[in-house]
Every structure is written in C-alpha cells, then in structure tokens.
Amino acid sequence: MTAQRLLDIRGLRAGYDGVAVLHGVDLHVDAGEIVTLLGSNGAGKSTLNNNVSGLFRPYDGAVYFEGEDITGASSTHIVARGLVQVPEGRRIFPNLTVRENLDLGSYRRARQHRASNLERVTAIFPRLGERMTQIAGTLSGGEQQMLAIGRGLMAEPRLLILDEPSLGLSPLLVEEMFALIRRLHVEGLALLLVEQNVVQSLELAQRGYVLENGRIVLSGQATELCEDPALRRAYLGV
Amino acid sequence: MLDPVILLPAAINGLTMGAVYALVALGLTLIYGVLHIINFAHGSLLMVGLYGAFFLHRFGVDPYLALLVMVPALFALGYVLQWSVIGRASHGSDQNVLLVTLGASIVIENLALYFFSADTQTIDTPYAIAMVDIGVALVSLPRLIALGASLALAAILWLLIARTDLGRAIRAVAKERQGARLMGIDVDHIFAMSFGIGTACLGAAACLLLPMFYVSPHIGHVFVLVAFTVVVLGGMGSFSGALIGGLLIGVTESLCGLLLGESLGQIGIFLIFIATLLFRPSGLFGSRLS
C-alpha cells in the first residue's frame, strides 16, 4: 500500500554564493500526510524550502513533485503545479488590502475558482473576512500569519509548505495555529510543516525529520521520534 | 494685470500643460515606485515618442490617431529595454541602474542627433490654431484635447493599477518581491511590464504634445526636469501626487510666466517646490517621514 508520493527530495545540496548549507538531504511527503521538518536556527530549513520552491537553484540532487522533475524550475512553474510555500516571516504584501493579498494568492493558479476559494478561506479565517478592506501591513502578527496561510490556500495547493507558522505568536495563538493545521489536514491537504516547536509538531505529524547542520540526522514515525533519547536530549532538555 | 479675464485663461492654459506634465510624471513615478529606478532615460524616450509621432504625421497619420500606434510601440520599447538591458545590467544594484539609464539616454539622444539633426521641427495640422470658447476663456483646441486625454489616460492607468491582477501584482512586487515570487508572480516580467507601462505614458504624452509643441533631439530635457520636480513634489511613487503635482506645476508655470515674463516662468515651479519640501519633506502625497 504505497500512497501517492507528492514531494520527493533526493540528495539535495544547496547554499548561497557557493557556500553549501545543505549537504545531501533526502526527504519525501506522500499524499494526505503531515510531515514535520525540525531543526534549530541555521540548520538549513529555510534554505531547503527556498530551493524546493524555486527561489534558488540547488547545486546538486533532485526535487520531484508528483513525479515531475522540478529541480531548478522557476517559482512560477512550481506554484502552477500546486506546490505552495507560506514563508517564514509571512511575506504578505503590506501595502495591499487583505482582499488584494488573497486575490494574488490565486494569481498563478486556481484563478477561475477565486470567488469560491475566497469564501472558503474566510470561512476558515472569519477574522480575515471582517477585515477585507484593511491594509495588510496594519494587521496584528497573528492576523498576518492567518493572511499568509489564507493567501497560500487561495492557490488550491496540492502540497502546502508552512515555514515556522507559530513563530512570534502568543501561546494561545500557537494553539490556534496548530488546531488550524490539523483542520486543513483533516480536509485532505498534505503539509510539510517546518518548525522549531518540536512537541506540538510531532503530536500533529505522522512522520518527522530532524535537520542539523545541513544533514538529516534523524527521521521516522512521529511517535517514535517523540521517544528518541537523542531528540529528547537535544530539543526537550530531558 | 491681475484681472481675472487674463488670469483665468492663463490658469486654464497652465492646467492643459500641467496635464501633460502629469502624464510624463505618472510614467516616471510608476517606474520609480515599482523598480526603485531613477529613470534618466525618461526624457529621451519621450523624445523617441515625439519623433515617432512626427514621422507618422509625415506619412499622413494624424497625431491623435498616432496614439494607437505610439502607445503600444513605446510600451514594447520600454518592456524590451527593461527586460534586455536595464534589468540585466542592474544585478540588484541601484547605482548600476542609475548609470545604465543615463547611458541609455545619451545613446538615444545622440542617435537622434545623428539621424534627425539638431534642428527643431514642428508639424502643421488644420486644428493647430483652432480655438474653443469654453465660456470663461478661449482655449486652443490641441491644449483642450491634451487636457481631456491626459486626464482620461490617468484614469485608465489608475483603474489598471487599482483594479486588475496586473496592477495588484505591480504593487505587490514594489514592496515584497520574495512573497510575490512565492505566489508564482514572475517578478522580472512585472518589472518589464511596469517599465513598459511607464514608457507607454510617454507615447501618449508625445502624441498629445506634438500638435502644440516642437520636436528636437534635446526636447526630453524640457520635460524630464519638470517631471522629476513633479514626482518629488507629489511624493516619490505616489500616483495622486504625480497627477495633482503635474497640474499644480503647470498652473504655477503659466501664472508666473504671465506675471514675471515667459523666461522667468520656471522660477515659480522651483519656489513652489522648495516651499512644499520645507513643510512636507516627503512631498504632498508621500508617506510622512518618521
């Protein structure tokens, strides 16, 4: 019973200005899964995301999405195929209204379903629905994170990469964020959740990877990772 | 001399010229707002537009009809220039772009000098000296058309920027390039589109100017300095700033020309300019400096 493989990263080597950050990363996400990628600051998590999303060209290795080789493809092509990233720091358009941000979520993909997706996103985030005409830069941090996710959902992603969605949120909002991620997953969305928040991420995910200094040092079922003595020592301090 | 019978026509005449200034400034402010480029080639590209309309007129095409050719043609020229020269040479550095656009303007101007000579030239149209009585004043027909068409084009441009996906993407790219890439927006294409649209404004301005102005390889200088003044006065990158600023400068120039004599008219522009910046350093519609 092999589930459909959505994202398949093989031996990815990548970095900036010739300095390698990732030294051969293997990682995959199947349809309907939540996979979490854990790692401390500087481990290379965002480098991985940005190479997968086509912002940078990897030095070596390959990235397949639904069987298609997308290594070094343009971000426009990758978004058009349905691999959408909600980046760390949200990267919303601060000078545009909430509504315009959401509209641009469907700039490249699912444009003809814009109206229905807009309804869906405002059903998930009623707060955004109330603030459609507000300038996005004036939203609170939590609302901006919701907007970033909502904008990503407007493209009807086949796989959504969430890069540190809980970063900078209050504990209450972090709870809310993880509840939301669970909801999206129940509705059938596959997610790659990149987080520093180890406990909650592993509770949510089916499988996990731990990235350290550009290498995957640990991977497996989330329940097993939770029990792993090395991980508990390194990330939970026990 | 301050009789309204004289002042009012002068103000209206200034308004007509100001509308053309606004159109030129809108193109400049769009390019600045999105690409953060100070486009020194803006005046030379206006000159290209004027010669384009001038030669079309030689082949019997009316300047106003030439709008249909010159707007797409200048759009294409701007798109290609940004895509193939300016974008490639910039490497993300603003100083590079400054020199590249300056270099482009020198090349374009000297090509014009070589091919068209330094002579100023004008066209004759049947309506060049036609006057229209608008009740409070007599206004020359080409000026009235320039005013109406410039305002209409500004409205179309505003709709394009405010109401279309292209416009949203242009504004998005202006502030958040990486976020735009992650939404599948082709940033290089949007840059070229912005430059193209900014240049297309010059194609329109050229066709509106030609029946009431002259053409020479150096004509760009007349307008580009005023356009820069308008953009800074209105607030860098501000749409309404460029529009209101253009009209204001046009009226100021005309009234000062009337009061101080034609050759001193431009003093008024810079007096208004300095006075505005003293009290609002980021311009009329610019975001306040914090």
What is the DSSP code string of B244-263? HHHHHHHHHHHHHHHHH-GG
Percent of chain A with pLDDT over 90: 87
Quick check: B10 pLDDT over 60? yes
Quick check: B2 pLDDT over 80? no
Q: Following CA atoms A5, A6, A8, A9 in sequence, which dihedral angle do they give, to the nearest 10 degrees?
A: -160
Helix (H, G, I), strand (E, B) or coil at B140: strand
Strands A159-163 and A60-65: unpaired
Select from A55, A91, A96 the Cβ nearest to the Cβ of B168: A96
* Interface pTM, i.e. ipTM: 0.94
Alpha-carbon gap: A108 to the closest alpha carbon of chain B (Å): 5
pLDDT band at B163 (very low <50, low <70, confident <90, very high): very high
Alpha-carbon gap: B183 to the closest alpha carbon of chain A (Å): 6
What digits encode the pLDDT tens for the residues A176-205?
999 999 999 999 999 999 998 898 999 999
* CB neighbourhood size of A149 (10 A): 24
* Of residues B83, B72, B104, B86, the one with CA closest to residue B200: B72
Cβ pair A79:B165 closer than 8 A: no
| CB-based contacts of B275-279 (< 8 A; 24+ apart in sequence) | B276/B233, B277/B232, B277/B233
Alpha-carbon gap: A107 to the closest alpha carbon of chain B (Å): 7
- Buried/exposed code over A18-40 (b: 16+ C-beta within 10 A; e: otherwise): eeebbbebebbbbeebbbbbbbe
Q: In what order do the strands lie in the sheet with A190-195?
A: A83-86, A159-163, A190-195, A34-38, A207-212, A215-221
A75 vs B: CB within 8 A: yes
What digits encode the pLDDT tens for the residues A52-78?
999 999 999 999 999 999 999 999 999
Q: What is the pLDDT of residue A117?
A: 97
Q: What is the rounded CA–CA span in Å between residue B251 and residue B8?
A: 10
* Of residues A9, A99, A104, the one with CA closest to residue A60: A9
Contacts B181 to A, Cβ<8 Å = 53-55, 75
Contact (CB, 8 A) for B167 and A83: no
pLDDT band at B1 (very low <50, low <70, confident <90, very high): low
Cβ pair A107:B181 closer than 8 A: no
Q: What is the rounded CA–CA span in Å between residue B191 and residue B199?
A: 12
A94 vs B: CB within 8 A: yes
Quick check: B41 pLDDT over 60? yes
pLDDT band at B3 (very low <50, low <70, confident <90, very high): confident
Contacts A104 to B, Cβ<8 Å = 165, 168-169, 172, 180, 183, 185
A132 vs B: CB within 8 A: no
Over residues B60-85, mean pLDDT: 97
| CB-based contacts of B250-253 (< 8 A; 24+ apart in sequence) | B250/B14, B250/B15, B250/B16, B250/B17, B250/B18, B250/B19, B250/B20, B250/B21, B250/B22, B251/B11, B251/B14, B251/B15, B251/B18, B252/B14, B253/B14, B253/B17, B253/B18, B253/B226
Select from B169, B176, B182 the Cβ nearest to the Cβ of A94: B176
Q: What is the pLDDT of residue B201?
A: 98
A224 vs B: CB within 8 A: no
A107 vs B: CB within 8 A: yes
Q: What is the pLDDT of residue A211?
A: 95
Contacts A90 to B, Cβ<8 Å = 179
Q: What is the pLDDT of residue B264?
A: 83
Task: Note the residue count of chain B.
Answer: 290
Q: What is the CA radius of gyration of chain A?
A: 17
Quick check: B225 pLDDT over 60? yes
Cβ pair A155:B171 closer than 8 A: no
Quick check: A51 pLDDT over 70? yes
Task: List Cβ neighbours of A111 (8 Å cut-off, separation of 6 or more).
Answer: B165
Contacts A79 to B, Cβ<8 Å = 182-184
Which tokens in the block code for residue B14?
């200034």
Strands A5-16 and A19-30: antiparallel
CB pairs under 8 A between A and B: 73
**Across all residues in chain B, what is the average pLDDT?**
92
Quick check: B290 pLDDT over 50? no
In CATH, the architecture of A1-82+158-238 is 3-Layer(aba) Sandwich (3.40)
Percent of chain B with pLDDT over 70: 98
What DSSP character marks residue B285? S
Residues of chain A with CATH 3.40.50.300: 1-82+158-238
Quick check: A2 pLDDT over 70? no
Alpha-carbon gap: A233 to the closest alpha carbon of chain B (Å): 35
Q: What is the pLDDT of residue B207?
A: 98
B184 vs A: CB within 8 A: yes
Nearest CA in chain B to A114: B165
Q: What is the pLDDT of residue A235?
A: 77
User: What are the structural domains of chain B?
Assistant: 4-279 (1.10.3470)
B147 vs A: CB within 8 A: no
Quick check: B289 pLDDT over 60? no
Cβ pair A84:B182 closer than 8 A: yes
Quick check: B97 pLDDT over 90? no
